[in-house]
Amino acid sequence: MKAEKEYQKLVEKAKQLTDLDITFARSRRFEIVLVKACICNIMSRYYGYTTTLIGSLVGFHHSTVIYHLQKHSDRYLNEEEYAETYDELSKFTSRAEDSIIDVEDVVSKLRACLAV
């Protein structure tokens, strides 16, 4: 299934970035929840997967996925670690790779606008 492949790709990239393997993690540790929240948002925003499907892959109830989707903007603006993790992981989506848009340039411009 395509969703599972995209999820595994994100998990592997997250492991490289954070040294955390969230494949079977059922913990509430901040670092693990942060990575899972980033993956939930990427899978929803970039691929349009349902909250139920995302939840089954990540190990969350679909209502928890909805919570993380709703909190994304606030966390992105106020939590630097979350924003950096989200930005790094979003660069490795197949949609980002196919895009002619320079993701790093757009992110830096957005951060500059938000910092004002």
pTM of the model: 0.75
Q: Which pLDDT belongs to residue 94?
A: 61
Residue 16 parent element (H or E) = helix 2-18
Residue 31 confidence (pLDDT) above 90:
no
Q: Which pLDDT belongs to residue 16?
A: 87
Looking at residue 23, the DSSP 8-state letter turns out to be T
The CATH superfamily holding the domain 2-115 is DnaA protein, C-terminal DNA-binding domain (1.10.1750.10)
Q: Which two tokens stand for residue 113?
A: 């606008």
Q: Domain residue spans in the chain?
A: 2-115
Helix, strand, or coil (residue 95): helix
Helix axes 2-18, 80-90, angle to 10 degrees: 130
> pLDDT tens for residues 100-109?
566 777 778 8
> pLDDT tens for residues 39-73?
999 999 998 999 999 999 998 899 999 999 999 99
